[in-house]
Amino acid sequence: MNQVRVTSWGQLQEELFADSWSADIGRFRSRYAFRGLSDADYRLETTLMRLGGDFAPLERHLLRNFKKYARRNVVEQDSLWHWLSVAQHYGLPTRLLDWTYSPYVALHFATANLERFALDGAIWAVNYLKAHQLLPELLRAKLDEEGANVFTVEMLAETITSQTEFEHLEENDYTLFFEPPSIDDRIINQFGFFSVMPRAQSILDVWLERHPELWRRIIIPAELKWEIRDKLDQANITERVLFPGLDGLSHWLKRHYSPKSDALPVRLVANRP
């Protein structure tokens, strides 16, 4: 089954690390990309899509003006993939989606928002190795040439130089995963990388429905969120680490000292004596 609803911390651990054993090397090495959502009903939509309206034509204007006004030393190379990575990192609406190699980082993002504690959360897990088997030949050949499982921005810059080329490389949709440059400690600490599809209008969960062999989704019940949150805090998976600096420290302290009663799931509040 592609979806499972966990009922305990123990079961959650089993699901997060399912299929992580690699017999070839005799080690536990998951090949999944993880994305945590505070609301299980959230789609795998990009920030560009969330602009609404006729968002696709706006992408070029957004990126062009970001490049025009941003300092030139914020990117290592003047390539589409470097600029997209930096733009996404600093909050510009793009066609990229954020993922992490760490199931615990994904779990943090599924349980960090106290205002969503009344709602079930979710962890998406997508097998990037299997997803890359569906890539156009040009991109698969680049991975094989490098002996890599995931693209870097340098690899993509050497293969695809423009949005137009990317959009017309193949008629069918596909998804590729790539690692951004280590822009700052936030990227490093979050063990983050991106997914991207060739057409800005494509919604990843719609594509995944056509490829059930690629993904799993773990539903986190609202009533389990407090236990998860407290155990992640004890394990130091917090904003203080994932968002280094005073902003992250302040967010962590605010959440850490928030009274539990203010964020209890609605169904539990209703049942209190």
> pLDDT at position 185, please?
87
Statement: residue 266 has pLDDT above 70: no
> pLDDT at position 158, please?
95
Beta-bridge partner residues of 100: 34, 192
Neighbours of 119 (CB within 10 A): 20
Quick: pLDDT tens for 70-107.
876 676 778 899 999 999 999 999 999 999 999 999 99
User: Cα(218)–Cα(6) distance, rounded to whole angstroms?
Assistant: 7
Statement: residue 37 has pLDDT above 60: yes
> pLDDT at position 272, please?
38
User: Which residue spans within the chain are E strands per DSSP?
Assistant: 3-5, 21-22, 27-28, 32-37, 97-100, 121-127, 151-152, 176-179, 192-196, 215-220
Task: Supply the mean pLDDT for the chain.
Answer: 91
> pLDDT at position 263, please?
45
What is the band of 271 on the pLDDT scale with cuts at 50, 70, 90?
very low
> pLDDT at position 186, please?
86
In this prediction, residues 49-70 reach a mean pLDDT of 92
Of residues 181 and 93, which shows the higher confidence score? Answer: 93
Q: Which two tokens stand for residue 25?
A: 């090397």
Tell me the domain boundaries of the chain. 3-270
In this prediction, residues 202-209 reach a mean pLDDT of 96
Question: DSSP string spanning 138-167?
Answer: HHHHHHHHHT-SSEEHHHHHHH--SHHHHH
pLDDT over 90 for what percent of the chain? Answer: 81
